Chain A
Amino acid sequence: MTSPTHNTPSDMTALRDAVAAGTTTAESICAGMLAVTTERNTEINAFHEVFAEHALEAARRVDSDARAGRPLPPLAGMPIAIKDNVATTLGRTTCSSRMLENYRSPFDATAVERLAHAGAVVMGKTNMDEFAMGSSGEHCKWGPVRNPWDTTRVPGGSSAGSAAAVAGGMCAAAIGSDTGGSIRQPASFCGIVGLKPTYGRISRWGLVAFGSSLDQIGPMTRSVRDAALMLDVMSGIDERDSTTADRPPTELAKTVERPIEGLRVGIPRQYMSDANDSEVNAAVNAAADAYRALGATIVSVELPLTDVGISTYYVIAPAEASSNLARYDGIRYGHRAQLQPGEDLFTLYARSRSEGFGPEVQRRIMLGTYMLSSGYYDAYYKRALQVRRRIKQEFDQAFSACDVLLGPTAPTPAFGFGANSDPLAMYLCDVYTVNTNIAGICGVSIPAGFAERNGKHLPIGVQLQANAFEEDRLLRAARMLERALAATTSAHAPRG
């Protein structure tokens, strides 16, 4: 999309180029975004903390470098919002939880360090579903996040504030984390680009652990080329995260504008369900038509295990979460309950955790604990890991017939607050995104159309997926579609 709000007509790449060319200043870009944030954040609640003075000072330094003719790094002066489960020495890192409401990280996450090294300015920390567990942005200690396109609706989650901040023109770009769709689904609901890179592409050092075999940090941006640029900056091996892939950083900004000759786009038959909203299926069909017009071949592929993805995910993710969140014991950091005289250490652990964690987090911890408990491990966890291999094999087979997969990001556009108050109903929203994480491959959501509800235009995203470490193919295919759909996706704006 080219025009998300009247105040921010450009994507980050264009802003960066304008600063480098001297046609604008980093300070004026930063000040403009801070003004939008001041005006809108009370209602949208995207940010929990904004580092206004820090951001302006950093922007002024970039301008001074530019005036002195010093070479500018790739993201010089660009204000970036950071999801609040990514550690920053600036401000707090709360995971939108009472458990960590006063937590200050003694270090920066590798991704943040690399963004800063590339000249980006950490503008603030964004609200999220507590500990990244949720698909709506409603389960946040600091209040629900609202969708800039229709404030009676959710922005999606769990990277709710990051998506809303980008869509609302409050920052140049953001980072989120994606364990089962937490970047791509809010990107779809908010009309922006959201990339879940291949597992191991970006270091998880400094990302508060949820599901360690599923979690990835990724960019949330106004354009595909911005996502390429941010991935280039954040990717690459990190000695502090032994699960980062031993591969050099990507260089996708150089290739993303190059269309792929003879592209084969697979549409999984199982993705085009009658249960999807009709506008969602229409957006996927329109995207397929656009690819055909560009000379791509559309093939139908089979992913029969699509429907068991949610079940597989809701074994693996809570199992890993129950283990990862065991560290919150009220001893070394985090919330500690007050004990009455005579109460013991067990009570301190249990009460600190029950006071510190919200209901959804406690539900998932119990679910994971149950499934890993004696006598149940084989029936749930081992079985889910076997299904995981089958899901990965199905993707491998599909990718033998096509280069990328095309389908919906989510079955619906943004829903209203409270519409999915039943936990299982909320889980089912992620049917098209969880398998990307289960298989460890990459996926991106890009804006593809709108649904009209009560006179408001709600964005609809489509998802492309590619096999592991095929981000070059994924983003070039996404850029082809973005360019082809520009007239459609720029027809409306959040404040229009």
Chain B
Amino acid sequence: MPDNPHSKTAALTTAQVAHVAKLARLEVAPGRIEEYRTQLAAVLGHIAQLDAVDLAGVEPMAHPFESHNRLAADIPVDGLPIEAVLMNAPAVEGRFLAVPKVLAEGD
């Protein structure tokens, strides 16, 4: 990432695209990094027009209606039965999801 984190004018690099792909858990073939770089740079270039909007004193608005955090009634309800949870699992062992080894040697 560049030294000045607020610099949107610095051109997006292939190294940054590879880094972002890693953060996003995407396996992008080396031959396609440049294509993504060009497309993402074009979108980021367009988005730079936001810099021209006068935002002095404007609070961010994360949600259309900012009123609430509505809580559900504190009444226990059943979750999905195990069969329903497992019916879409790519790999199952008995009543469990099967996953590859999580810890490597020495972890």
**Are B27 and A390 interface neighbours, CB within 8 A?**
no
Tell me the B13-44 residues at the A interface (CB within 8 Å): 16-17, 20-28, 36, 39-40, 42-44
| Chain B residues within an 8 Å CB radius of A300 | none
Contact of A310 among B36, B46, B70 (CB under 8 A): B46
**Given that A350-B26, A375-B5, A387-B53 are known contacts, is A331 also in contact with B60, CB under 8 Å in the complex?**
no
Tell me what chain A mostly uses at the interface: helix, strand, loop, or mixed: helix
Q: How far is the CB of A302 from chain B (nearest CB, A)?
A: 15
Q: How far is the CB of A330 from chain B (nearest CB, A)?
A: 6
Residue of A nearest to B99 (CB): A331
| Chain A residues within an 8 Å CB radius of B71 | 242
**Distance A333 CA – B59 CA, assembled complex (angstroms):** 39
**Given that A199-B64, A345-B99, A354-B27 are known contacts, is A370 also in contact with B58, CB under 8 Å in the complex?**
no
**Distance A428 CA – B92 CA, assembled complex (angstroms):** 44
**Given that A354-B27, A387-B55 are known contacts, is A366 also in contact with B61, CB under 8 Å in the complex?**
no
**Distance A468 CA – B66 CA, assembled complex (angstroms):** 13
**Are B46 and A389 interface neighbours, CB within 8 A?**
no
Answer whether residue A219 sits at the interface, using C-beta atoms and an 8 A cutoff: no
Answer whether residue A213 sits at the interface, using C-beta atoms and an 8 A cutoff: yes
**Given that A106-B87, A305-B53, A423-B42 are known contacts, is A366 also in contact with B65, CB under 8 Å in the complex?**
no
**Are A369 and B24 interface neighbours, CB within 8 A?**
yes
| Chain B residues within an 8 Å CB radius of A117 | none
**Are B64 and A213 interface neighbours, CB within 8 A?**
yes
- 0/1 per residue, A373-390, Cβ < 8 Å to B? 111101110111111111
| Chain A residues within an 8 Å CB radius of B20 | 366, 369-370, 373
Answer whether residue A420 sits at the interface, using C-beta atoms and an 8 A cutoff: no
Q: How far is the CB of A483 from chain B (nearest CB, A)?
A: 31
| Chain A residues within an 8 Å CB radius of B55 | 383, 386-387, 390
Q: Which residues of B contact A (CB under 8 A)?
A: 1, 5-6, 8, 16-17, 20-28, 36, 39-40, 42-44, 46-51, 53, 55, 58-65, 68-73, 80, 84-85, 87-91, 97, 99-102, 104
**Given that A200-B65, A370-B20, A392-B61 are known contacts, is A423 also in contact with B25, CB under 8 Å in the complex?**
no
Contact of A106 among B1, B47, B69, B80 (CB under 8 A): B80
Answer whether residue A135 sits at the interface, using C-beta atoms and an 8 A cutoff: no
Tell me the A353-369 residues at the B interface (CB within 8 Å): 353-354, 357, 362-363, 365-367, 369
| Chain B residues within an 8 Å CB radius of A367 | 40, 43-44
Answer whether residue A155 sits at the interface, using C-beta atoms and an 8 A cutoff: no
Interface residues on A, range: 35 or more
User: Can you give 8 contacting A-B residue pairs, CB < 8 Å?
Assistant: A107-B80, A329-B25, A362-B28, A365-B26, A369-B24, A386-B53, A387-B55, A424-B39
**Are A308 and B50 interface neighbours, CB within 8 A?**
yes
Residue of B nearest to A427 (CB): B43
Answer whether residue A322 sits at the interface, using C-beta atoms and an 8 A cutoff: yes
Determine, out of A69-77, A118-126, A158-166, A334-342, the stretch whose residues face the partner at the interface: A334-342
Q: How far is the CB of A273 from chain B (nearest CB, A)?
A: 16
Answer whether residue A35 sits at the interface, using C-beta atoms and an 8 A cutoff: no
Tell me the A310-324 residues at the B interface (CB within 8 Å): 310-312, 314-315, 322
Answer whether residue A457 sits at the interface, using C-beta atoms and an 8 A cutoff: no
**Distance A126 CA – B62 CA, assembled complex (angstroms):** 31
**Given that A366-B36, A383-B55 are known contacts, is A347 also in contact with B50, CB under 8 Å in the complex?**
no
**Are A385 and B62 interface neighbours, CB within 8 A?**
yes
Tell me the A379-410 residues at the B interface (CB within 8 Å): 379-380, 382-390, 392
| Chain B residues within an 8 Å CB radius of A199 | 64-65
**Are B24 and A366 interface neighbours, CB within 8 A?**
yes
Tell me the A5-32 residues at the B interface (CB within 8 Å): none
